[in-house]
Structure 1
């Protein structure tokens, strides 16, 4: 599948993603001298913030375009093109004191494979801290996409659905099944205001709903997103701003010490 990310649009119009990740760094509490792996690092802003703690950090993302942007912005940091849904390089095995992920795990539908790779990368006693979309995340937008594809094109959205938004109990159980001890896990609603007024929804759809364009073809993308936007407007647009119905799952777990 082609790389569907546009790093320039992501950085210029969707900076709220990294901004919300600052609280998750607080849960990680990175320390000077330790090694941290940032899974789904995007264009590297959160990776750079973790580095400010004095930790040695490596950022990975499966998007070549996003990694190229990250390397351009932060040439002093280490970034790798790597997909956590596939076996990661053996050089990363038991190389990290902590694994971190912000707003990325919901793009990785092979959740058990991801957890197995995180486990493999962590040293015994290592921490796994993250936040991503949980059950109900952007449900209004998701429903609008499903409705438009079916009503206007006769297409079921399920074959093109890119996201994994689990309930809290399901993901906690997956963590435990992978061998982790779950230290905390919480599901919470986080209504999220998009910047740029009415155009904010256009930027959001162009960046995050791009996988659904495969259902209709690139020439229909403008119409698809316009219809989705108008379906969402009564519920999500007020006072010249869009507020999306984000719901997040935040957790901290650790890999037990041997013996």
Structure 2
């Protein structure tokens, strides 16, 4: 992705790099210009980045520190209730296949905050929230190829990988099929056989106070 970006969008004033965003300001490119950035933008990533409770607020503090006064933080991520059916089924599948409940819950790689949580957190680190909203957005999945790609099965293999790591490799295909089987009557539509997943998006615009 970085090589593609560098090739397609090369510019003297633009650079691309890989960095652990739990520690944004430890990136020399960010830290050397801390307090001067116009905007920080994130799409469909914060629910992974904020998963670690030990660094959750540090992420928001680093974003705030990177921005110049009046700079904006624009984001969209999974919000409270995002993919709730699949999330629940994945936990249930692990428990059904011998993983203790607490361990199954801790396997989740996501943090889906509510609008209220995010508003409080942004205010606490010094942002002025200009816009914050939750949208329920059912999304049609691609068609399954019957070999583990596409459809709900492919989604679980890709997005639910952290759950599957809690069982032995030989059990993973069984767990995925268990999840798909349990959710068929919930996620599959009778009129055309299409599969849908219940995305809930939390999006916002916050500005660093002048």
TM-score, length basis structure 2: 0.84
Counting matched residue pairs gives 191
Distance in 2 between residues matched to 1:95 and 1:240, nearest whole Å: 51
1:166 aligned to 2:113? yes
Contact 1:88 1:117 in 2 (8 A): no
- Residue 94 of structure 1 deviates from its aligned partner by 2.5
Contact 2:6 2:15 in 1 (8 A): no
Which structure carries more relative contact order (alpha carbon 8 Å, separation 6+)?
A: 2
1:248 CA displacement: 1.0
Give the aligned partner of residue 105 of structure 1.
46
Deviations 1:123-144 (A, max 9, x none): 1110001111111000000010
Which of 136, 142, 145 is the matching residue for 2:81?
Answer: 136
Inter-partner Cα distance in structure 2 for 1:132 and 1:166: 9
Paired position in structure 1 for 2:179? 228
Which protein shows a greater Rg?
A: 2
The structural deviation recorded for 1:78 is 2.5
Equivalent pair of 1:201/1:242 in contact (CA under 8 Å): yes
Kindly indicate whether the alpha-carbon contact (under 8 Å) linking 1:84 and 1:117 is maintained by their aligned counterparts in 2.
Answer: no
Q: Which residue in the other structure is 1:89 paired with?
A: 27
- The TM-score with structure 1 as length reference comes to 0.69
- RMSD of aligned C-alpha atoms? 1.9
1:212 corresponds, among 154, 163, 173, to 163
2:21 counterpart of 1:74:
no
SS of corresponding position for 2:80: coil
Q: CA deviation at 1:224?
A: 1.4
- The whole-number CA distance in structure 2 between the counterparts of 1:147 and 1:169 is 28
The 1-side partners of 2:64 and 2:18 are apart by 19
Q: What is the deviation of 1:111? A: 2.6
Structure 2 alignment gaps of length 5 or more: none
Contact 2:80–2:113, Cα closer than 8 Å, also in 1: yes
